[in-house]
Amino acid sequence: MKSPSQKRSTAADKKRSALERMSLFLQPGPSGSSAKWSAMQSEYMLEIFRTAASHVPAYRTFLKERGTLSRTVNSIADFKKVPPMSKDNYLRKSAWEDLILPGALAGKPLVLSATSGSTGKPFYFPRTGATDEQSYVYHRTFLENSGLNPKEPTLVIVAFGMGVWIGGIITYEAFKRISDRDFPLTILTPGVNKKEIFEALREIGPQYTQLILCGYPPFVKDVIDDGPENGVTWKHFDMRVVCAAEGFSEEFRDYLMRKTGMKNPHRDVMNIYGSAELGTMATETPLSILIRHLSIAHPALFPALFSDATRLPTLAQFVPSFVSFEAVDNRIYATAGSALPLVRFDIGDHGGVLTYSEVKRICAAEGIDLKAEIKKAGIADTVRELPFVYVYERADLSTKLYGAIIFPEHIRHGLHSAELEPFVTGKFTMFTKHAENQDEYLEVNVELKDSVDGTHEIIAQIGLAIKQSLMQKSTEYHYLVGAMKDRVNPRVITWAHNHAEHFAHGTKHKWVKKA
C-alpha cells in the first residue's frame, strides 16, 4: 500500500508528465515524429478507457449493457471494438452525478458549460483546469506562430457569447493564462455586443499597436465591416483573428484580411474546432491552412485527402494527449479525460482523421513536395507532425447562425402553431446563407397547403412564429436577438404545395441544406 507521500509523488509525476508534453508541443519546429504522436494517441485512448471503466459508474453500466468486458480491452485493436457513446445513448440516459469521476464534485475546482442540444433542455459539462490548460497551449502556440511581439501593447477582444456557453469563458481563460505567464495582454470581454466593442476601440484602441479579435466567424465579419462607420480604423493595428463554432471558406479568410490589412493567410487567422463537451479540441495551424490551399489549387489532391469531395472541410491539427479523434464511417469519435470522461464519443460531426505521414504521402502521390511547399510558404518554423482531423458540419441535422446552433425541431415547433395550421403543411427546408456583403442570415423555405397563396401577411406571420419558437427553444438564439435585434430575424420564402425546388412529392425530405 502506498504511503501519502508516495501518492503525492505519483500525482506530481503525472502532472509533471502532462506539463512536459505541453512543453514539447510548444517547442519551435518539429516536436516529435508522426509515429511518436500516433503511439501517444493509442496510449492515451486506452488510458482514458481504463479510467472510465474502473471509476465511472455510468460507464461501467454502459459497457455491461452492451456485453463489453473492460478486462478484454488491452490493445488499440480491442479499443476500436468498444461501443461508441453519444448524448442520446449515454449522457442523457444516465444520472448526471454517475457520469462524473468520484470525488470530482467536491474534490476539484470545476467550471460548468451548457449546451441545449436538439431537446432544448440544457446539459451541463464540467471541466477541470486541465481543459483550460490545453486551450492555453493551443492559443499560446497561435501567438507564437502569428509573429506578434510580446513587448508591444496588445489588446484581446473576446467577442464570443459569454455566460454559460463555453466559447467566451474558455477563450478568456486561455488568454488570461498567457498574459499571466510570458506574453502581457489587455483583455476585454464584451461578448456579442458591437456597441461595447466599438466604444472600447474608439476610447482605448489608439493606445494599442496589436489587436486580437476573437468571435464567431460571421460576427467577426460584422464587426470588421461596421468598424469604419463607427470610427475604427483596422489598419491602425497589427491585427489577428481567432474564430470558432463553424467552418468558413478560404474566400472568407481572404475577405477578412483585405478589410483589416492582415498580411499572412497562414499565420494571421485561426479557426478552432471546439465543443461544449471538450473545450478546444483542435485548431487550424499554418500547416493545415497551407494544405487547404494546396487542395484547392490541385483538383486531384482534394478527393485524395477528403472523403467528401463536394465541400471544403475545416482542417485542424490536434494534440493526441489532450483529445484524440477517430473516424468510423465518416463519423468523428472523440476520446478525452476531464471530470466527465468521454470514450469514443460520437460528437455528431462528419469527417476523417489523417496522420502527418499520410498527408505527406498523399501529397507526394499527386506530385506535390510538401516540404518544398512549406518552405515556399515560409512556415517551416511552425510545423509539427501532429495528426489532422477534418470536419464537415452537421449538414442534415442542424445549421448555425452567428454561432448559435439551429435545429429543425426549433422551426417545426413554430410552424405547428394553431394560427398557421390553415396555411402551412409543416414542411420546410432551412439554410444559412450569406448576402453579397457576406452578412449571414437564416433562410427558411416553407411549404404552403394546396391552394394557399403566400401573401405578405402570411409570410410575416410565419416569420414571427418561427422567431418566437427559436427564442423559446434556443437560449443561444435568444441571446443573439438581445445583442443583434432584427438582424437575426429568419427570412421566410413560401412555396406552393409539392414544389419541386424543396418539396418534391415522393422523395426523402431534407430539413437542412447547404446553400
Q: What is the pLDDT of residues 380-426, one digit of tens each?
A: 999 999 999 999 866 557 888 988 888 887 888 888 888 998 899 88
pLDDT given at position 1: 46
Rounded Cα distance, 90 and 93, in Å: 5
pTM for this prediction? 0.82
Where do the H-state alpha helices sit in 27-148? 34-55, 57-65, 76-79, 104-107, 129-146
Q: What is the pLDDT of residue 163?
A: 85
H or E element in which residue 360 lies: helix 356-365
Write the pLDDT tens digit of every residue in 429-471: 999 988 877 789 999 999 998 889 989 999 999 999 999 999 9
Average pLDDT over residues 491-513: 82
Q: Where in the chain is the domain with CATH 3.40.50.12780?
A: 129-392
User: Half-sphere exposure (CA, 13 Å, Cβ side) for 392?
Assistant: 19
End-to-end distance of the chain based on CA atoms, in angstroms? 62
Q: pLDDT per residue over 234-282, tens digit each? A: 999 999 999 998 888 898 899 899 999 999 999 999 999 999 999 999 9
Residue 250: enclosing H or E segment and its boundaries? helix 250-260
Contact 280, 138 (CB under 8 A): yes
Binning pLDDT at 50, 70 and 90, where does residue 120 land? low
Q: CB–CB of 61/28 below 8 Å? A: no
Going by DSSP bridges, is the β-strand pair 324-328/331-336 parallel, antiparallel, or unpaired? antiparallel
Beta-sheet strand order (sheet of 440-448): 424-434, 440-448, 491-495
Report the alpha-carbon distance of residue 218 to residue 438 in Å, rounded. Answer: 8
- The three three-digit cell numbers of residue 226, written as one number: 461596421
Helix intervals (H) in 204-272:
217-226, 250-260
pLDDT for 121 equals 76
Phi, psi of 452, deg, nearest 5: -100, 135
pLDDT above 60 for 8: no
Q: For the residues 66-75, what does the mean pLDDT come to? A: 96
pLDDT in tens, 286-337: 999 999 999 999 999 999 999 876 678 999 999 999 999 999 999 999 999 9
Q: Which three cell numbers stand for residue 304?
A: 485524395
Determine contact, residues 298/368, Cβ cutoff 8 Å: yes
Model pLDDT for residues 332-366, shown as the tens digit of each residue: 999 999 899 999 999 989 999 999 999 999 999 99
Q: List, for residues 138-195, the tens digit of each pLDDT value.
A: 999 999 999 999 999 999 999 998 888 899 999 999 999 999 998 999 999 999 899 9
Strand (E) positions, 278-393?
279-283, 314-317, 324-328, 331-336, 342-354, 388-392
Task: Tell which wins on pLDDT, 301 or 120.
Answer: 301
Place of cell 414544389: 499
Question: How buried is residue 144: exposed, middle or buried, by Cβ count under 10 Å (0-12/13-18/19+)?
Answer: middle
Pick 129-392's CATH classification: 3.30.70.20, 3.40.50.12780, 2.70.170.10, 3.40.50.410: 3.40.50.12780
Q: Note the pLDDT of residue 292.
A: 97
Secondary structure (3-state) at 302: helix
Domain 399-495: give its CATH architecture. Answer: 2-Layer Sandwich (3.30)
- CB-count exposure of residue 422 (10 Å: 0-12, 13-18, 19+): exposed
Domain ranges in the chain with CATH number 3.30.300.30: 399-495
Which of 12-16, 141-145, 197-201, 353-357 comes out lowest in average pLDDT?
12-16
DSSP SS3 for 45: helix
Place of cell 478484454: 72
The Cα 389–Cα 272 span in angstroms is 12
